[in-house]
Each structure stands twice: as C-alpha cells, then as structure tokens.
Structure 1
Amino acid sequence: MIKIKLVCATGVSSNLLVDVLKRKAAEKKVDCEISSSSSMNITDAVNSSDVLVLGPQYGYKLDEVQALADGKCAVVTLKEYEYSSIEADKIVDKAVEAYNAFKK
C-alpha cells in the first residue's frame, strides 16, 4: 500500500481534494492510503508517507522538503492548474510514478 500525503500551507485546501483523489485511486485500482497535512507538520508527513505531494502554494519549499525527505519518501509538486478535482486522476498517476521511481 502506497501512503500518499497531500501537503499545503494550512491543510484546508488539500483536505478538500483528498476525497476526490481517493475515488480516482479506487477507480484505477491503486492500493493506497491518501491523506492531507499542513506544512507545519512536514516532518511527521515525511516520516509517515511514501509520497509527499506538495500543493502549489507550498511548492516553493521543494528543495527544503526534498532535503528533509532524502531517502525517506518521494516528493512531487503540483502546479496551479493541476491542483483541482478535474486533474485528480493525473495527481494519482504522478504520485504513483514518483513512488515507483523512488523504490528503484
């Protein structure tokens, strides 16, 4: 099971997207657990996830988060246009691809 954590500045906007991501993952038959977190809990998110998906409002911290996550989990960022329920299937794909690349 892939543990995917969607991280944004406060955790509020990512929380809205989590339900849609769960439905899309189920449709794609991806065995995963998807949750959200605020950036204030980034250390816990790194330690409890296989993939961190950073919302666009937190993407500017990519280098810092990648350094923190080094060897612990994969990290991807979303662009503004990707951060919506319309793009949910692509977000799931992006997280799975990052996980597979990380596990190699």
Structure 2
Amino acid sequence: MKRILLFCSAGMSTSLLVTKMQNAAKAMEMDVSIDAFPEAEMASHLDDADVVLLGPQIRFALGRAKKLCSEKNIPVDVINSMDYGMMDGEKVLKTALKMMENQNREDHP
C-alpha cells in the first residue's frame, strides 16, 4: 500500500482534501493510505511515507521538508495552490502518484 502524507499549518485545513483524495482513490480502485498532519510533526511521520505534499500556506517549509525527505528518499513538493483551493482531490492524488512513479524511475533506471 502506498502512503501519501500531507502537511499544513495545523493538519486541519488539509483534512477535507484528504477525504476528497481518498474518494478519488476509491473510485480508481487504488489501495492508498492518505493522512494529514501539522508541519511541526513532519519528522515523526516520515518512516513509511511514499510521498509528502505540503499545503500552499506552508510553502516556506519546503526547504526543511526536502532536507528531511531526501534523507529517506521520499519525493516532496508543495500542492498546486489552484488544486488546493478547488479541493481537487483527484488532481492532487494524480500528482502524488506521478511523483512516486518518477521517484521509482530514478531509483531503478
């Protein structure tokens, strides 16, 4: 099972997006785990993550997130602010899946 983690200021604003992403995954018959946490807890949740996405409101934390995630070979990026604003769970899920696919390509050329 793939694990997608979303981080934002307090872990609350991404909860609706997580639900929409879970619904999109279910519609695509995909077995993924999607959770949201406060950015301050990032280091303690990365062990079994396959991809990390940051809410646009914590874009400033991308440098720290990249440092933490690179140590564990986890792709990380900021969620597109338009997709986030529209709460487009399907599009954000597809972005996360593409990030995992690209990471796998880099790991196994």
Q: Normalising by structure 2, what TM-score? A: 0.86
Q: Which moved more, 1:3-12 or 1:67-76?
A: 67-76
Distance of 1:84 and 1:71 partners within structure 2: 30
Distance of 2:19 and 2:46 partners within structure 1: 21
| Structure 1 residue aligned with 2:97 | 96
Amino acid at match of 1:81: M
Identity of aligned residues (%): 24
Amino acid at match of 1:7: F
| Structure 2 residue aligned with 1:24 | 24
Larger of the two Rg values belongs to structure: 2
The 3 A distance-change label for structure 1 pair 84 and 23 is farther
| Structure 2 residue aligned with 1:33 | 33
Which residues in structure 2 correspond to 1:1-104 (within 5 Å)?
A: 1-72=1-72, 73-84=74-85, 86-104=87-105
Amino acid at match of 2:79: L
Amino acid at match of 1:88: G
Structure 1: 5+ residue stretches without partners? none
Q: Aligned to 1:48, what secondary structure does the other structure show?
A: coil
Question: What is the total number of aligned residue pairs between the two structures?
Answer: 104
Contact 1:4/1:52 (<8 A) preserved: yes
Contact 2:17/2:87 (<8 A) preserved: no
Q: Normalising by structure 1, what TM-score? A: 0.89
Superposition CA RMSD, Å: 1.5
Deviations 1:33-80 (A, max 9, x none): 011110010102322311111110112221221111115211121132
Distance of 1:38 and 1:86 partners within structure 2: 18
